[in-house]
Amino acid sequence: MAGLGRTVLARHRMSRLWGLGDRSSPSSMAPGLVLSPKDEYDVIWAPFVTTGDGAIPRSITLESRAPFAPWESEENGPSLSASIGHVLPPSLDEADAGEVASKGELLPVSWQSMNHDSELLDENLNPHVVVMTDALQLANRPGRLVEAIHVIKTRFPGALLWAPGIGGPDNCAVLSWFGIDLFDTTRTHQAEAHGAVLTWNGPRMKSEFEPDFNHWEHALSEVRSAIENNSLRELAQAQSLNSPRLIEHMRNNDKIIANSEGVLSQIVNQKSALRVNNLESHDDPIILDWVDFISNSYSRPKDLDDVLILLPCSARKPYSASRSHKAFRRSINHNAAHEVMVTSPLGLVPRDLEEVWPAGHYDIPVTGDWTQDELNRVHQMVSKLISRNNYRIVINHAGIDLQCDIPVVDTRKGLRATSHEALEQLTQAVHDNMRKKRRSGEKINIDNFRSVARLHHLNDSWLDSIQVRGRFPRWKVLKDGEQIAMWAPERGGFSISKACVPFLDSLDSLKRISLRPDVKWKGDVNLANLESYDKSIRAGEDVLVMQGFQCIGSARASAPAWEWNGTPGRLAKMHQRL
């Protein structure tokens, strides 16, 4: 049986855009459709067709509609088949059906089998497609569908996931966000039988004079583009408004991802944006992760004066490039206080972290009004920031009321932040309360870089005794006159030099992966040369590459850790080779 050729072309959290067939020229893609024999779609939208024999226990066959294994045959293939076994309802999860599904490249899985079939734990089990045989029943049980999807995806990350009977143009963005790769036309045909049509915006009755329109192709096109552009969550949230059940699924999925490691990104494409266009977005796990870090782990740069200046955010990122913040900086006329921006939905963004993801990449509608939840988040974060960092006084130019255990000077008093009177009051408050001298430009850069290192690395020890040279914005980081890194503004992070890798190794400043001892590392890190990896790796972060007890270089993670257990193709790209 020929293997299914598949390559991840793009990814956004648990969703992926797969190329099927030849890696350099895919014949089809997923998310895509599994057709019934009576359906007619171009292969680019529908890579597979399915048949069932109706027997008990019945079997299922998945036929490829193009040569997805061209290195083995020029004919369409592979053809995957499996026996589904006895599938009990999810409500009987404590019962054992006895007749288990077959195990192979096409793998049927049910809620009951996940609870009782120990063969699913076999490390040699490497399916190409997993079928959620009871997806329809799970979709009607609160929390069960997204829980099952997450378990399957993390157990078989290299497989395409098909959830028969639940997908349609009206929910495929939501289901793709959870990690489902293949859909079928069951619900589409059911709607047509009742004179209705499934559209992107939900089901509706079809008009007598309505022209033909392929809603599936439109929906799949939108989803694929959103995965490539890191905007699928925004698309899924908009589509979730089609149904209260979809909103429920989205919320339950957020809870699962927020409690999972190795799923989020550390570095994103410069064009990526975190668009927070509704209140549901405020609980995005990447936002909750930021709130947790600032509240419980963040430490302000050392040697600053113990004065906290709270400032409003700006639409432009980074904030320091905006007109309002240039006015604030002129009025402050000092750089030894700790400047922290008050913003929704992130709560607080220290000046020293304003360029990193997600602080440097979010966008939110600005009305000037705060919800009580937004205010509660800010107040809780300010309280924790003060208790962890021992400030002496707060200069509050953010325009929100604060109740703190230390003195607070309100420099706004209801005025517009950039009004002449408010800026004069800010100037006076800084003048009256600053005790330490101004920092040099190099010291500011070093303080900022240390803060980023404490966020992106395991520690900032590798930045001890450094010098910062060069020109804005690509500052060079030197140690003993040798360049060890460069600030890369498009990454919101560092670009590590070859000379830096031994420092990072000796100081345990990066996570590690290990390659098999019998391979010579020449390029990508993939399943063929990988031996072990850190389970908390995030997409975009740098990792140390080990072979045995020796560090042989560094790599940049292309995929988060949840994929590293079985996803074909590049998992990390070589960055430096010692």
- pLDDT, one tens digit per residue, over 302-313 is 999 999 999 999
Distance CA 393, CA 406 (A): 6
Least trusted range by pLDDT, from 184-193, 206-215, 408-417, 521-530: 206-215
> DSSP state, 518?
T
The per-residue pLDDT for 54 is 61
Q: Find where tokens 């208790």 sit.
A: 387
**Is 361 in contact with 273 (CB distance < 8 Å)?**
yes
Instruction: Tell me the average pLDDT across 152-157.
Output: 97
For residue 358, whether the previous peptide bond is cis, meaning omega lies within 30 degrees of 0, is yes
**Mean pLDDT score of the chain:** 94
Q: How confident is the model at residue 84 (pLDDT cuts 50, 70, 90)?
A: confident
Residue type, 125: L
The per-residue pLDDT for 1 is 39
Which among 204-208, 333-337, 370-374 has the top mean pLDDT? 333-337
Q: How confident is the model at residue 211 (pLDDT cuts 50, 70, 90)?
A: confident
Q: How confident is the model at residue 98 (pLDDT cuts 50, 70, 90)?
A: low
The per-residue pLDDT for 115 is 86
The per-residue pLDDT for 489 is 95
* Position 540 pLDDT exceeds 60: yes
Give me the domains of the chain, ranges plus CATH numbers.
6-258 (no CATH), 298-433 (3.40.50.10630), 443-497 (3.10.450.90), 510-578 (2.30.130.10)
Rounded percentage of the chain residues whose pLDDT exceeds 90: 85
- Secondary structure (DSSP) of 369-427: ---HHHHHHHHHHHHHHHHHHT-SEEEE-SSS----SS-EEES-TTS-TTSHHHHHHHH
CA 455 to chain centre: 16
Instruction: Tell me the average pLDDT across 403-424.
Output: 96
For residue 78, whether the previous peptide bond is cis, meaning omega lies within 30 degrees of 0, is yes
The per-residue pLDDT for 42 is 97
Name residues whose C-beta falls within 8 Å of residue 531's C-beta, 6 or more positions apart in sequence.
Answer: 514, 515, 516, 517
Q: How confident is the model at residue 51 (pLDDT cuts 50, 70, 90)?
A: confident
**Is 159 in contact with 129 (CB distance < 8 Å)?**
yes
Instruction: Tell me the average pLDDT across 195-205.
Output: 94
Distance CA 450, CA 457 (A): 10
Q: How confident is the model at residue 248 (pLDDT cuts 50, 70, 90)?
A: very high
The per-residue pLDDT for 57 is 65
Q: Find where tokens 């930045």 sit.
A: 463
The per-residue pLDDT for 568 is 94
* Position 23 pLDDT exceeds 80: yes
* Position 342 pLDDT exceeds 70: yes
The per-residue pLDDT for 300 is 97
* Model confidence pLDDT, tens digit, residues 359-410: 999 998 877 789 999 999 999 999 999 999 999 999 999 999 998 999 999 9
Least trusted range by pLDDT, from 87-91, 213-217, 244-248: 87-91
* Position 301 pLDDT exceeds 90: yes
Rounded percentage of the chain residues whose pLDDT exceeds 70: 97
Neighbours of 472 (CB within 10 A): 9
Q: Which helix (H) or strand (E) holds 445?
A: helix 441-456
Instruction: Tell me the average pLDDT across 44-52.
Output: 93
* Position 421 pLDDT exceeds 80: yes
Tokens of 74: 């020029």
Residue type, 388: R
The per-residue pLDDT for 565 is 94
**Is 15 in contact with 29 (CB distance < 8 Å)?**
no
Q: How confident is the model at residue 99 (pLDDT cuts 50, 70, 90)?
A: low
Distance CA 395, CA 304 (A): 15
* Position 96 pLDDT exceeds 70: no
Instruction: Tell me the average pLDDT across 417-445.
Output: 97
Query: What are the percentages of helix, strand and coil residues in the chain, rounded to 5?
Result: 30, 25, 45
